[in-house]
Chain A
Amino acid sequence: MTFIAKTLKIILLSFVVFMFFIPLYFTFAVSLSSKARINEGVIIPDFYLGNWLEIFGGFGYWRNGIINSLIVSTAAMGVSLLVSLPAAFVFTRYRFLADKHLFFWLLTNRMAPPVVFSIPYLMIWRGLNLWDTHYGLVLAYMVFLIPLTIWILAGFLSSIPKEIDEAAYIDGYSTFTLFRKITLPLLKPAIGVAMFFAWLFSWTEMFFASVLTSSVAKTLPAQLLTALGKVGWGIEYGPAAAAGFVSVIPGLILLYWIRKYLLRGFVIGRL
């Protein structure tokens, strides 16, 4: 690389590091600051631990938020995968009337802003006693997660050559055995990707959570929205920053586990 290119690279990279490191540091510092310090402006925190105590103890709002988020995210991820894997299989392996249109319709659900669906959900869920339950929120998330996971899985599935299928059929495999013994192992990275995105979406989703939950099933993002509007003694940036930090941790863990799969998994291949 030429000298100019190298210097540019260094400048660019320093800029990137700066832009992306400072917010992280800053949020962490705010979470360790008392209200007085936040008001002044946090460069170095004053190591006030009250905010983190509030997150894990206190009234339990934040703690419940974290627990509920974990429950809902995992459940949503599981259900959507369970339902989408067979569906993606059918879409890519078989042709039937209006299959492309059906697929597109599935995708259009992903395109809807949450606000569009919130009130209908609120009313229907209320009638079915699903309001403020984990079931209800998981069901609401399906409108995004099923299209998303089908799309990801279908993308990978269509790159597994159909010749493999044919060979297996000739060998006498039933579709189910084919799926289990051959397709599934090949599909592992794709499932990893789909799981990741499904879980992440549910973990970070705020709008439905704020409308469809209240005291029992309120998730962390909804709790953040509430905290940032609270009047009372003032807006609690400290605990909110700590909660914001907590909201990143599972994503980090997940990313670490599947980083090899992620890199390999995005091999979409030539089409």
Chain B
Amino acid sequence: MEKTWLLPPALIVTGFVGILPIFALLNYSLQTPFELENKFVGLDNFSKLFKDYRFTDAVIRTIIFAATSLAIQIPLGLGLAYLLRGASKLNAFISSLLILPPLFPPVTIGMMWLLLTRSNGPFGLIFNSILTSLTGEAYNIYGNAVHSFATIILMDVWHWTGLTYLIFLAALSSMDETYLLSARTEGATRWQIFKYAEFPQILYPLLFIILIRLIDSLKIFDEVFILTGGGPGLSTEFVTQYIRTMSIEQWIFGYSSAMSLVYLFIIIIFCWLLIIGLTKGRGILE
């Protein structure tokens, strides 16, 4: 095989920026650098991690957030793709509005929502009137953990539905109609058509979008930090924010390195299981 030199450049670069830091982190996680004295503590940092309620809470919170947000934005994207796939000016207009938020920098989205959800901002006013008429409570992201968490999820759905929509739209428009036709002539119901004729064809895009969105949700930082800064108490503090506080702010660096490695490991395992599960063991290269 000639042209095998095509691959090494990518490996070299990624190796440099991807492996070197891991070694650095491993190195730090076994010591207490940048603190009063740097001593070797072995696996102490790791064992502390598992007893740390703030960490385990943050992990659970992040997972709940990711699961809920995905559970909303993916079906929503699919539904919208079905609804809007005809060619019409109205559809095109709505599509263009939908597709915009994924193009915004997350920090801009955080800032937009910060201003929007104040009590004198449009969303603040509207949510407040909805909530007070339904439950009698005022809308208060900084005082009420549920409001805060719900707003974050809403913001994330708002942010990314456009992307899921786009992917499904492309998938739908490239679908092979023959299966559909044969299913229809055989008298299948709409649901059966979907389940047996259409769904298998959107499986790969579905996997793609679930994987991407899951990874990004587990990594979320910018918007949440700007909007709630961790929320009332710690109710919207996700793992990335906690790592940041420990590493860049408090410089308890050995501990935060251990945390980084453990969290990275968690994410990788998650994704690996997902890939294996959804591709029935064939792996992602297929």
**Which residues of A are in contact with B by a Cβ distance under 8 Å?**
9, 12-13, 16-17, 19-24, 26-27, 30, 38, 40-43, 83-84, 86-87, 89-92, 94, 96, 99-100, 102-104, 106-121, 123-124, 139-140, 142-143, 146-147, 150, 154-155, 158, 175-176, 200, 203-207, 211, 220-221, 224-225, 228, 237, 240-241, 243-244, 247-248, 251-252, 255, 262-263, 265-271
Contacts and interface: CB of A to CB of B under 8 A. Distances in A.
A224 B105 contact: yes
Nearest to A205: B105
B129 to A, nearest CB: 14
Closest 7 CB pairs of A and B: A266-B170, A41-B120, A86-B6, A251-B103, A120-B21, A204-B105, A87-B10
Q: Please indicate which of the listed interface residues A86, A241, A263 has the most CB atoms of chain B within 10 Å of its own CB.
A: A86
Interface in B149-177: 158, 166-167, 169-171, 173-174, 176
A143 B120 contact: no
Contacts of B103: 200, 204, 248, 251-252, 255
B273 interface: no
Given A17-B97, A22-B122, A113 B219 contact: yes
Q: Please indicate which of the listed interface residues B17, B173, B219, B239 has the most CB atoms of chain A within 10 Å of its own CB.
A: B17
Contacts of B264: 108, 111-113, 116
14 contacts: A20-B97, A23-B116, A26-B121, A41-B120, A90-B7, A103-B285, A104-B284, A109-B17, A119-B253, A120-B24, A154-B285, A221-B222, A224-B107, A225-B226
A228 B115 CA distance: 12
A251 B111 contact: no
A106 B14 contact: yes
A142 B13 contact: yes
Interface in B116-131: 116, 118, 120-123
B285 A99 contact: yes
The A contact surface, by secondary structure, is helix
Q: Please indicate which of the listed interface residues A38, A143, A206 has the most CB atoms of chain B within 10 Å of its own CB.
A: A206
The B contact surface, by secondary structure, is helix
B268 A146 contact: no
Contact of B10 (A12, A86, A119): A86
B19 to A, nearest CB: 9
A116 B3 CA distance: 35
Nearest to B93: A17
B6 to A, nearest CB: 3
B260 A115 contact: yes
A155 B115 CA distance: 40
Nearest to B241: A115
B17 A140 contact: yes
Given A19-B158, A26-B121, A115-B240, A270 B201 contact: yes
B3 A175 contact: yes
Contacts of A110: 215
A262 B166 contact: yes
